[in-house]
Every structure is written in C-alpha cells, then in structure tokens.
C-alpha cells in the first residue's frame, strides 16, 4: 500500500469511534482491553484515564516467568508498600490464562491490581478508583474490563514511530530494533551474519544551547559515553550543518569487546535551544562504506515534530 494511502488509513482509524466491545490498545502497548464508557487511552502514560472522575488504568508488560513469582508473593505486603491495605485476593481464569486479582484500599480510594499470565509475557493492570466514582465503575464493570484483557503479537511500525519526538522520513532498509517512547529509536539489520550488525541509534537528549567554541568538547564528552567498545580511536571531528542547523560529526574506529572484530562508527549531534539530536551509526569495518551511506540517508530524513 502506498505510504500516503497508509497514512490516510491510520488517520481514519484514529478518528473513528471504537465499537462498544472492541479491544483498544494504547499507543505502543501490546496489551489492550475493552475500556468501559468514560475511559480513554491516555496521552501521558500507557493505559486509560477518566480525568473528570480521577480514574486511571495503567498497563505494564513483564517477562513471562514473572507471573509465577507474583502469584506466590505476599499481596498484603505489596499493597502496604503502596500505602494501601488488602481487602481481597482472588485467583481467576481469564480467556488468556491464569490471573491473580488483588483489591486494596487507601483513604477514599480503591486500588485493583491484576497480574495475568499471557502467551509470551506477564500483563499487569493497575486500576485506581476514588469512592466518588464507584457508582460508574462498579465491581461488575471492572471485572468485565479485566475479562476483556488481550495481547497483540506486535505493535505496528507506524504506531511505534508515532511515539518518537521526531519523524523518520527514511529508514534506508533498516528494521526497528526498539523504541523508547518520547526519547529515541534503534534501527538495525536483522541479517545476523556478523558479530555486530549495522545499526543506528537516534535519540533526543536534553541540553542547553551550546556556544560554537564548546561544541567539539560537548560532542567528545557525549561520544565517550557510548558503551560496549574497546580500543576506541577518533579519526575525525568537525563542525557540520544538519538540516539547516549547527551540528558536529565524529568519525571513529573501535573493536567489539566480545569478539575483537574491527568496527567503524559515526556520531552526529544536531544542536538546538533546549535539546540535542544524537545519532550514532555503527557497523563492522568491512561493511562500513555501504552502511555509512545508509546512515546518512536516515540522518538526512529526520524531521522535528
């Protein structure tokens, strides 16, 4: 499907109201559920909220083996750490598998915590309901919501990219290796034929505006923070222009500490008034020429949101 058509389709889906019994996945989350009327996907955390009634549902994903540990844990002690007291603990059988439900109380608020075993993860759902909202979010409504818990195989690529504080206009054949919402993304090859595959990391870092005389020092300091390298040698360092803004480039060589393989890497910094765009591309030296051209394509396609 052409990119423009795909974007229109995504927009169409976003503006259409969900069907009453449709599972909703908050942006970037593999875990979803059917939210009761009044709850909407939050823009500030992975979950749902009803701001008018101060109700919040937080979704989290843990490793698959976490369920067994949490099932055996002391629920009363766990709630005590949150400042709440235990009212009820139940073992449930959801459509997705086994689950533990813990209900606690703190002042004039109830806390529901559901831990559920899913096929390849452990889902944790935390719900906070003030007493003033119990008439709307009754026990039966909450239990029906928990029973609708679902998991999707993966988060769509366009949705993952939508969580970034910048736009990627060009992936240059790379695949998404991971996204840190609001901060950055790892793009990588999945060929697996070398000790380290070509990959590029793009992140937005907080930082004050830098004077021209300080940019080289700042770039070198940030470069030294790149982990998992040995025998690092900077081969070039210079000021450049990136998308019409002041930037800096460092070229270097290094070795993979695990295998001793020769690596080449580049760091680009684009300076802003309150943040730096930090881009690091790395590849085995024999594959560097082709990888560097792809890194530049990705870099030149980055746009501010």
Residue 206 tokens read as 């907080």
Residue among 290, 244, 237, 283 at smallest CA distance from 262: 283
Residues whose CB falls within 8 Å of the CB of residue 7, separated by 6 or more in sequence, listed in order = 158
Judge contact between 37 and 161, C-beta under 8 A.
Answer: no
Mean pLDDT lowest for which of 9-18, 97-106, 289-298? 9-18
Across all residues in the chain, what is the average pLDDT? 87
Please give the pLDDT value at position 289: 96
Tens of pLDDT, residue by residue over 103-161, are 998 888 999 999 999 989 999 999 999 999 999 999 999 999 999 999 999 888 888 88
Kindly report, residue by residue over 271-300, the tens digit of the pLDDT. Answer: 888 889 999 999 999 999 999 999 999 999
Q: Which residue in 159, 150, 104, 105 sits closest to 123, CA to CA?
A: 150
User: How far is the C-alpha of 291 from the C-alpha of 242, rounded, in Å?
Assistant: 19
pLDDT at 206 over 90: no
Within a 13 Å sphere around the CA of 150, how many CA atoms are in the beta-carbon half? 16
- CA–CA dist 190, 192 (Å, integer): 6
pLDDT computed for residue 279 by the predictor? 97
Q: What is the pTM of this model?
A: 0.66
pLDDT in tens, 167-203: 999 999 999 888 887 889 999 986 554 557 999 999 9
């Amino acid at each position: 499907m052409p990119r423009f058509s795909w974007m229109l389709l995504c927009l169409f889906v976003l503006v259409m109201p969900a069907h009453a019994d449709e599972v909703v996945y908050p942006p970037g989350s593999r875990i979803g559920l059917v939210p009761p009327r009044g709850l909407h996907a939050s823009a500030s955390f992975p979950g749902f909220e009803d701001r008018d009634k101060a109700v919040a549902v937080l979704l989290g994903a843990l490793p698959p083996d976490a369920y067994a540990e949490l099932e055996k844990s002391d629920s009363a002690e766990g709630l005590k750490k949150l400042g709440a007291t235990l009212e009820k603990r139940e073992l449930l059988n959801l459509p997705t598998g086994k689950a533990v439900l813990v209900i606690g109380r703190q002042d004039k608020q109830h806390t529901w915590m559901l831990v559920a075993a899913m096929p390849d993860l452990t889902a944790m759902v935390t719900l906070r309901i003030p007493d003033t909202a119990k008439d709307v979010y009754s026990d039966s409504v909450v239990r029906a919501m928990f029973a609708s818990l679902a998991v999707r195989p993966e988060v769509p690529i366009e949705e993952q990219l939508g969580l970034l504080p910048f736009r990627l206009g060009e992936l240059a054949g790379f695949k998404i290796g991971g996204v840190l919402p609001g901060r950055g993304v790892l793009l990588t090859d999945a060929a697996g034929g070398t000790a380290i595959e070509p990959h590029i990391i793009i992140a937005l870092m907080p930082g004050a505006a830098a004077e021209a005389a300080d940019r080289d020092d700042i770039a070198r300091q940030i470069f030294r923070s790149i982990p998992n390298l040995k025998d690092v040698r900077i081969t070039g360092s210079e000021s450049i222009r990136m998308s019409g803004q002041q930037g800096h480039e460092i070229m270097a060589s290094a070795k993979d500490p695990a295998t001793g393989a020769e690596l080449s890497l580049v760091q680009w910094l684009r300076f802003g008034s309150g943040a730096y765009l930090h881009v690091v591309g790395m590849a085995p030296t024999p594959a560097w020429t082709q990888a560097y051209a792809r890194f530049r394509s990705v870099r030149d396609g980055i746009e501010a949101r």
